[in-house]
Structure 1
Amino acid sequence: MDGRYIFESERLGFRRWKADDRGAFARMNANPQVMEYFPNMLTQAESDGLIERFEQHTDERGFGIWAVERKEDVAFIGFIGLLEVGFDAGFQGAVEIGWRLDNKFWKQGYATEGAKACLDYAFGVLGLNEILSFTATLNHPSETVMQRIGMKKAGEFDHPKLKDGSPLKRHVLYKITAAEYALR
């Protein structure tokens, strides 16, 4: 295992965020294709704030949303990681897995491979018991990743941070326990 990574998969390395990730991350968050299933694109300052939030979460909890790079050329491809749910939708405080990859890295299996590695870390190293994931009902690509990593649909909910009438308000909720993951 490469010393610069917290953990890795066959093609991906998971690490803490670096200052030189900020430009690529902001460009990704300003890309309408990448942000299609989010309420709005982000400015450089908003992207920087998100990195700071991710890093603070990691400092406080020992896990978080990690920067992910392709090992063969150390290209920053986006993020995959774990975050405590901070809003009230009936599962506040639970741990969610999430991902956002730059669109030039889509359709190469990175989201699925990285999410599986993240679940391996969550259950095997961190000893977490259950992981959730959710996305807008319109976001079929992310829902497909949830299914590919063994998660099961647990229901739907209206995201409390999105305005009524938003086409993104309705979300699917997926779950997987450590025991279920071990059986897959």
Structure 2
Amino acid sequence: MTEIRTPRLLLRRWYDDDLAPMADINADPRVMRWVDDGSVLGLDATAEAIEGWEDTWDDEGFGLFAVELLASGELAGFTGLFVPDFLPEAASEVAIGWRLGPAFWGQGYASEAAHATLEFAVQDRNLDRVVSINRVGDTASENIARKLGMTREREAEDPRYGFPLHVHAIDLTEFQA
């Protein structure tokens, strides 16, 4: 089983007990504001999502990690790697993404987890490039991308919803783990 420990976090595969706390995160409109069309997700949709994330691990050898606080064992959300097949011009890339519950915002957890994920991308998966895709206006995600050393590469449009997107990228051959 793939696990990564940081000073404060455990990044790991998904457990059955993660469903309810992840569904609570996905049901919060503040969390989902910048995701897809902004709609919240219920328990069934979250279960389908987690199943899909686990399938990606099996198919690609990478995926979205559950992010657990070491101190309390609480599920904070996720971070990890995925193929952004929703965006045709980036469908051949590997992207990094994150989603944490509001109780975990503003404490550096997303940056810490994302940095560990980039280390995983380089050291364990031998990737030489990773992108990040976020909706224009999502300044929190922009800040995390910048902290990771990513630079804005281009703008795009979400073909599903028409929202403008920023695509950031990092050359991992120069990444300082």
Q: TM-score range by the shorter chain?
A: over 0.9
Q: Which residue of 2 aligns with 1:170?
A: 164
Q: Residues 1-184 of structure 1 correspond to what in structure 2 (within 5 A)?
A: 6-38=3-35, 39=37, 40-162=39-161, 164=162, 169-182=163-176
CA shift at 1:93, angstroms? 2.4
Deviates more, 1:85-94 or 1:44-53: 85-94
Mapped partners of 2:71, 2:27: distance in 1:
26
Write out per-residue CA displacement over residues 56-111 of structure 1, whole angstroms, 9 at most, x where no aligned residue: 00011111001010111111100000001213431212100000001000000001
Q: Please list every run of 5 or more consecutive structure 1 residues that lacks an aligned counterpart in the other structure.
A: none
Question: What residue identity is the alignment partner of 1:158?
Answer: E
CA shift at 1:5, angstroms? 5.9
CA shift at 1:19, angstroms? 0.7
Q: Secondary structure at the match of 1:155?
A: strand
Q: Secondary structure at the match of 1:49?
A: helix
Q: Secondary structure at the match of 2:169?
A: strand
Question: What residue identity is the alignment partner of 1:110?
Answer: Y
Write out per-residue CA displacement over residues 116-172 of structure 1, whole angstroms, 9 at most, x where no aligned residue: 00001101111011000011001010110000010010011001121x4xxxx1011
Q: Please list every run of 5 or more consecutive structure 2 residues that lacks an aligned counterpart in the other structure.
A: none
Q: TM-score, normalised by structure 2?
A: 0.94
Question: What residue identity is the alignment partner of 2:92?
Answer: G
Question: What residue identity is the alignment partner of 1:128?
Answer: L
Mapped partners of 1:132, 1:107: distance in 2:
23
CA shift at 1:10, angstroms? 1.1
* RMSD of aligned Cα (Å): 1.4
Deviating above 3 A after TM superposition, structure 1's stretches of 4 or more consecutive aligned residues are none
Mapped partners of 2:87, 2:10: distance in 1:
32
Q: TM-score, normalised by structure 1?
A: 0.91
Percent of aligned pairs with the same amino acid: 32
CA shift at 1:35, angstroms? 1.1
Answer whether contact 1:97 1:115 (CA < 8 A) is retained. yes
Q: Secondary structure at the match of 2:90?
A: coil
